[in-house]
Structure 1
Amino acid sequence: MDSLITLCSSLATFFLCFSLPILTASSPILTHSIIPNFTATNIQYVETSGAFLVSPNGTFRASFNDLESMSSGFYFSVIHVASNTIIWSANRNLPISYSATVKLTIHGLSITDFSNKVAWSTPSFNSQVAALQLLETGNLVLVDAQNVSLWQTFDYPTDTLVIGQRLYVGKSLAGAVGNNNLSVDDYRLTVTSEDLVLQWKGQTYWTLSMESKAFKNSNMPVSFLEMSRTGLFLFGDDGSEVVFQVFLEPSDTKIARLGYEGFFSISSFIGNNWLQEFVKPVDICQRPFTCGKLGFCTNQNPTCICPTGFRNDAQNNDACVPIEDTISLPSSCNESGNAGEFNSSTVYLELQTGMDYFANHFNQPEKHVMNLSLCQDVCSQNCSCLGIFHENSSGACYLLEYNLGSFMPITYGEEGPLGYIKAFSTVSVVPDEYKKRSFPLSSLVVIITFSGFFLLTTMVVMTIIWLRKRRSNRMNFGSLNSSSTADLEMTIPGLPVRFGYEELVAATENFKNEIGSGGFGTVYKGIIGDKTVVAVKKITSLGVRGKMEFCNEIASIGNIHHINLVKLRGFCIHGRQCFLVYAYMNRGSLEKILFENESHDPVLEWQKRYEIALGMARGLAYLHSGCQNTIIHCDIKPENILLHDDFQVKISDFGLAKLLSHENSKLLLTTLSGTRGYLAPEWLTSHGITDKTDVYSYGMVLLELVRGRRNCLFQSSGTESDDSEGNGTSFSSSSCELGMVYFPLFALEMHKKKRYTELADPRLEGLVRIEEVETLVRVALSCLHIVPTLRPSMTNVVAMLEGRLPVGEPRVEALEFLRLYGGKTSETSRFLTRIG
């Protein structure tokens, strides 16, 4: 038997040898497979641009490459022929000379320089090498006589992945130093058991899970990353279940690359050009080293500056260093502490407000409750700590360790943690006898008197300036009368119809027929001159703004047209009163249909509910991504979801949040709190409001559509709220009031048990589509994730409801806050303050 195997092996090698063309220096013939013993030099294959292997269809070649700009440095690479793009390199850290040699022996593949020194080689194998093959996928493979793979480039990626190539957990793509220098730099794209992450010197600055285009389908641990012609996928341990997926336009040739500047991109080769489909992070200031060490990226094209108190150091790669020569930054960390730390004292240089650091968004704080002094002490005792960010309101202390990159503008509101850079001062300690020396009494009296006079004068001047500015603002807004507004119609394009005040008084019978009210004002029904029924909103919480700014906002709102948005017909300004005139929706609001329906009226059928959910999603998706500028609604609730004719959805009050002053935005917050359940958690923290705030509110409305009741008015009963599986869950512990169950929490528990039938409105008597109930519940829960970046975008919500994308899997751990959030408002506020 052994002799038979040996004979077959010999015959296979024999036929392989004779099936390949003979390679000679005088007349090189390209082939997709070569056998030992083979030797090639750049000089030998100069006629084929250094190539001596091509894939069967000629898509890829293996060749010597000099990147066009390195006259004496060459790389042995696999290259996409049509675009001349390198997808893999052997000796990326050690360019070779023009006379270097590639050798294939039975022991493996190696590259030797002109001095016969090995610059690169494959590892040793248990079997002898029979052939080197370049497959049509771009994979360069060493096989033995049984055609078993011994080594392949797909297992040793550089900075690029191609279709079909897998990147397993623990493996990384390593960014290059530059376009013309393939040496490994500090950026990594790494697959973990939970995510795909971008890191700079070990510090995370982007994750796939934070992207709205990434859908999570499973909680299974990740095994590997693979790209197909239609998307990017993270697969589970079994190799078949998709954990994360990003859908892309179909293309037969794609590359995923970690660029030398730290961005991750996916491109398709179309029409002899690479078309970039996906690039992250988009904001260049979110890349860790855009402006070098301690540089501040200002998001203006971008512009790089040094923070206040720092200057550029041309001798140190233009890094920012302290202006004071007596202050120095820590150098390398050694066993005895930071070098240069001795004979000096530790100081902390405060950064100006509005600065943020990329790692703060991905690292847990050292401590959640800690004052600034203690936070600095923790850093001082840590040799690797180079600075801190401290949030005064929460006491969170973030350490900046090992390496410092660039700073970026703060991204979540005007307030945030303040940064402090650790440094050492070489100024000698002040002698005790100098500390005891005092000023003469007469000098002290003069100083105190002068200081008091100066302070008093400054206060008087500032008070006068403030009063004048306040009076000017009032006069400015007071000038918003009809005649001045008429002048603006000539200069501001897109303004809707301007109604006269008397016209609206007549239309509404002196504002007699009130049909609704909310955070932005009171709404009256009216009939204008052409017998058209309208809804007139009197804005009662308008901020103090100039007439030009107000009219610009009205023009912006008036130019927004979508089938699922209420149309703004016109406006009116009368003194300090402002009115907006909308098209009237004859079926009223979703709130009245769901919650105020009389017993003799028919219950809103399930199909209409699903169409309402989809219409809401389409309208919000347009506001978030279809307009020229993103519009955040800030007040999504059933009262603002209007219905027209055949229950067609029309979202109202969009764009009005911009018209609120800071003080009146607090009024809106109070109003929203009154209608319990629609506030996103970030409203109660220092984090800013984004389009994901609307996504949260949308999720709450979805659950009310499913149940047909307010989320916090669900009466508990023995059959629905009992814990049938004995897991200790007590729904009443999170109820809105005694005897009531918080429905979002109940929905979460039923989702865990896959008991979606129990969540549907009992008034429908089972006339529902269970698969659609499951879809709405899963989408709703995904929208309620406490971390905004985990919530899907409204564009993706539309795709999920339309069936174009699979419905995402809610993250249970990001929904556990509902146990507290369904309780009293004060408890909720304390909870969110702790986690914020």
Structure 2
Amino acid sequence: MINLNISGNNLAGNASANSSEKGVVVGPTIGSLLFLLVLVMLAIFISKKRPRNAVPWSSSVNSGKSTALLGQEIKSCFSHVDIVGITNNFEKVIGGGGSGNVYYGRLENGCEVAVKVLKNSHSQGTKEFVAEVKLLMTVHHKCLVSFVGYCEEGANLIVIYEHMSGGDLRQLLSGRTSTSAFLTWERRLQVALSIAAGLDYLHSGCNPPIIHRDVKTTNILLNAKMEAKVADFGLSKAGKKDDVTHLSTVVAGTPGYIDPEYYCTNLLTKKSDVYSFGVVLFELITGRTPLFDVSGERFHIVQWATARLVRGDIQSVADPKLGAQYEVNSMWKVADLAMSCTSQQSHSRPRMSDVAIQLKEAIEVETYYRQRTGCSFAEVQHSSSSSYEVSSSFPSASFLPPAR
């Protein structure tokens, strides 16, 4: 209580009679104003101290609706205003698909990033967004694209991950890329091994195991050093110890890559990823897409390549762009592996850990050949076709293809 002394003032009326009443009225008023002033100053101080990357309060929260990610203490959450700044108002598109576009971005520290913006917030898109963000926040492997952050603000669902300047594997195999990069056979083997290592980590290194469910060349990204990483986990599912997960009747995936057993039974297993990976192996071998036309007839890469391989014809299957600059036994080993991975019955397919071992052996064969012939990467690309004949004389019978 603040007591005001006005006895010395010459005021009209009975000052002595009213002085106590005025002290009672004016005192609480000034005290309340001071208290409000303290509250305002405290609010300003807290707002200034609030971290920039705190979880934003989106319109979905204000309307009483919330999604699975809100409320989690995630330091990698960005506001939509942040995203606009990072992408320079979505200036440069570097990729895209059915779910939305991917934009080039740069963080305040100069780090380059890729910003994937979902087209809309329909239920399926939101489900895939939540699944991808949750998975990326928990898995960490050098062969998986690194997670940077996300934005979940109203209808804006955005995922931010490391920028892979080399583009996707499909672009490189087809030659539709802004760079002059060419994937030699040895580099293709390294790419295949990286993919296998990333999938093996998801299958065996995570608990519960994770099934990617959308393994394809457009989801394999390469950095400036041509190192490959697996991306896009929107369709991923947590598996079970018995390798089987019962799903709904809706089969997810990309035509040409979907496991035929999964398509018929609606039972998803880790071997479904193995089948898709086998299709990717055939793409690395042939340079073709999973589905293509020849003389007006439609072919699937697995049936097309297998029909020739069982006749012992590796030359007509191998990508012509390679110019026969590969160790033929290494090529055969990967071709056999691709056929094994794409077996119609899942129980006949190898595990990803076994796939990785066989790819390492194929790389050893290719490396031995290059050391034996004295060819470097650049020399191999420009050497004569006689190197194919030399490669056929590789001495180790353990790497020779089985009789056809």
TM-score (normalizing by structure 2): 0.65
Q: 1:519 to 1:688 in 2, by over 3 A?
A: farther
Alignment of structure 1 residues 245-256 onto 2, 5 Å: none
Indicate if the aligned counterparts of 1:714 and 1:743 stay in contact, CA closer than 8 A: no
Measure, in 2, the Cα distance between the counterparts of 1:523 and 1:548. 18
Q: Shift in Å at residue 758 of structure 1?
A: 2.4
Aligned to 1:684: 263
Q: What amino acid is the match of 1:704?
A: E
Structure with bigger helix share is 2
Q: What amino acid is the match of 1:554?
A: V
Q: Shift in Å at residue 757 of structure 1?
A: 2.5
Measure, in 2, the Cα distance between the counterparts of 1:746 and 1:638. 18
Q: Shift in Å at residue 611 of structure 1?
A: 0.7
Match of 2:79 among 487, 494, 500: 500
Aligned to 1:768: 326
Measure, in 1, the Cα distance between the counterparts of 2:178 and 2:148. 35
Match of 2:207 among 612, 624, 628: 628
Match of 1:616 among 195, 198, 204: 195
Indicate if the aligned counterparts of 1:480 and 1:576 stay in contact, CA closer than 8 A: no
The answer as to 2:380 corresponding to 1:801 is: no
Match of 2:66 among 479, 482, 489: 479
**C-alpha distance after superposition, 1:355-396 (max 9, x if no partner):** xxxxxxxxxxxxxxxxxxxxxxxxxxxxxxxxxxxxxxxxxx
**C-alpha distance after superposition, 1:67-90 (max 9, x if no partner):** xxxxxxxxxxxxxxxxxxxxxxxx
Aligned to 2:96: 517
Indicate if the aligned counterparts of 1:474 and 1:544 stay in contact, CA closer than 8 A: no
Q: Shift in Å at residue 554 of structure 1?
A: 3.1
Please provide the CA RMSD for this pair: 3.8
Q: Shift in Å at residue 559 of structure 1?
A: 2.6
Q: Shift in Å at residue 630 of structure 1?
A: 1.0
Aligned to 2:169: 590
Q: What amino acid is the match of 1:622?
A: Y
Q: What amino acid is the match of 2:301?
A: F
Q: What amino acid is the match of 1:792?
A: P
Q: What amino acid is the match of 2:186?
A: Q
Alignment of structure 1 residues 25-424 onto 2, 5 Å: none
The answer as to 2:131 corresponding to 1:573 is: no
Q: 1:754 to 1:599 in 2, by over 3 A?
A: farther
Match of 2:136 among 557, 580, 591: 557
Q: 1:480 to 1:655 in 2, by over 3 A?
A: closer
Q: Shift in Å at residue 541 of structure 1?
A: 7.1
Aligned to 1:210: none
Q: 1:578 to 1:808 in 2, by over 3 A?
A: farther
Aligned to 1:45: none
Indicate if the aligned counterparts of 2:212 and 2:237 stay in contact, CA closer than 8 A: no
Measure, in 2, the Cα distance between the counterparts of 1:519 and 1:690. 24
Measure, in 2, the Cα distance between the counterparts of 1:808 and 1:571. 49
Indicate if the aligned counterparts of 1:589 and 1:641 stay in contact, CA closer than 8 A: yes
Say which SS state the counterpart of residue 236 (structure 2) adopts. helix
Q: What amino acid is the match of 1:533?
A: E
Say which SS state the counterpart of residue 753 (structure 1) adopts. coil
Q: What amino acid is the match of 1:576?
A: A
Measure, in 2, the Cα distance between the counterparts of 1:769 and 1:756. 11
Measure, in 1, the Cα distance between the counterparts of 2:178 and 2:151. 40
Query: Identity, % of aligned pairs?
Result: 32
Match of 1:639 among 214, 218, 221: 218
Measure, in 1, the Cα distance between the counterparts of 2:188 and 2:213. 22
- Ranked by relative contact order (alpha carbons within 8 Å, sequence separation 6 or more), the top structure is 2
Q: 1:808 to 1:688 in 2, by over 3 A?
A: farther
**C-alpha distance after superposition, 1:508-563 (max 9, x if no partner):** 23323222223543321111222211111123476759x99987973442231111
The answer as to 2:72 corresponding to 1:488 is: yes
**C-alpha distance after superposition, 1:593-642 (max 9, x if no partner):** 11243699353211111111111111111111111221111111111000
Q: What amino acid is the match of 1:803?
A: E
List runs of 5+ in structure 2 lacking aligned partners: 1-59, 239-245, 365-397
Measure, in 1, the Cα distance between the counterparts of 2:247 and 2:64. 17
**C-alpha distance after superposition, 1:703-741 (max 9, x if no partner):** 11111121333646xxxxxxxxxxxxxxxxxxxxx2455
Q: Which has the larger radius of gyration?
A: 1
Measure, in 2, the Cα distance between the counterparts of 1:549 and 1:596. 30
Q: 1:548 to 1:616 in 2, by over 3 A?
A: closer
Measure, in 2, the Cα distance between the counterparts of 1:795 and 1:637. 19
Measure, in 1, the Cα distance between the counterparts of 2:152 and 2:178. 42
Measure, in 1, the Cα distance between the counterparts of 2:203 and 2:223. 23
Q: 1:602 to 1:536 in 2, by over 3 A?
A: closer
Q: How many residues align?
A: 302
Match of 2:340 among 779, 782, 792: 782
Structure with bigger strand share is 1
TM-score (normalizing by structure 1): 0.33
Q: What amino acid is the match of 1:777?
A: A
Q: What amino acid is the match of 1:488?
A: Q
Measure, in 2, the Cα distance between the counterparts of 1:792 and 1:658. 20
Alignment of structure 1 residues 428-447 onto 2, 5 Å: none
Measure, in 2, the Cα distance between the counterparts of 1:665 and 1:579. 28
Q: 1:527 to 1:621 in 2, by over 3 A?
A: same
Aligned to 1:748: 306
Measure, in 2, the Cα distance between the counterparts of 1:665 and 1:523. 30
Aligned to 1:604: 183
Q: What amino acid is the match of 2:116?
A: K
The answer as to 2:226 corresponding to 1:654 is: no
Q: What amino acid is the match of 2:360?
A: E
**C-alpha distance after superposition, 1:677-727 (max 9, x if no partner):** 2121134323311111111111111111111121333646xxxxxxxxxxx
Q: Shift in Å at residue 776 of structure 1?
A: 1.3
**C-alpha distance after superposition, 1:107-150 (max 9, x if no partner):** xxxxxxxxxxxxxxxxxxxxxxxxxxxxxxxxxxxxxxxxxxxx
Q: 1:577 to 1:773 in 2, by over 3 A?
A: same
Measure, in 1, the Cα distance between the counterparts of 2:278 and 2:135. 27
